[in-house]
Amino acid sequence: MSTTLTIRDESTSGETTHELTLDFLTERITVRELIRSRVFQEVKDYNAKQADTFHGLVQPSEAEKTLNGYRMKKWRMIDWEKQFDAAVAAFEKSQILVLVNDTQVDDIGAEIEVATDTLITFLRLTPLVGG
């Protein structure tokens, strides 16, 4: 039996900017597995639809940030493994925060309980410009 988790991205003001659902077959996953599943699904969806805008956790190379995601200069397939590596690096540098039931999880190996009422939030931090 699988459990569906709703994953949402929020801005620093608390506004939901993107939402997706993922199915898991196990009762517990690590943060790394969560990021992997999320990145794999969003890249798979983008590549299948050949959409103009990529709604993903991290910005692909050769893409520009837009209000609703990332626009590729020229459409191309995105490599999910490169996106996953970039997402893990961003998590490890605290550029992406993962909240589970409103509690920040900062260990990529930490386990998360997979239940229908588990709330997963990703928060991307924007570096400040200037000094």
Is the CATH number 3.10.20 carried by domain 3-124? yes
CA distance 115 to 54: 28
At which residue do the structure tokens 């990021």 appear?
A: 35
Determine the residue type at 127. P
Packing angle, helices 80-92 and 31-49, rounded to 10: 140
Sequence-distant (≥ 6) Cβ neighbours of residue 33 within 8 angstroms: none
Of 77, 84, 86, whose CA–CA distance to 34 is shortest? 84
Determine the residue type at 112. I
Would you tell me how many other CB atoms lie within 10 Å of the CB of residue 84? 20
- 8 A C-beta contact, residue 97 and residue 122: yes
pLDDT tens digit string along 65-124? 887 789 988 889 999 999 999 999 999 999 999 999 999 999 999 999 999 899 999 998
CA distance 1 to 71: 37
Residue of 4 and 1 predicted with greater confidence: 4
Q: What is the pLDDT of residue 30?
A: 98
Structure pTM? 0.91
Would you kindly state where each structural domain of the chain is located, as residue ranges? 3-124
pLDDT tens digit string along 86-98? 999 999 999 999 9
CA distance 96 to 120: 13
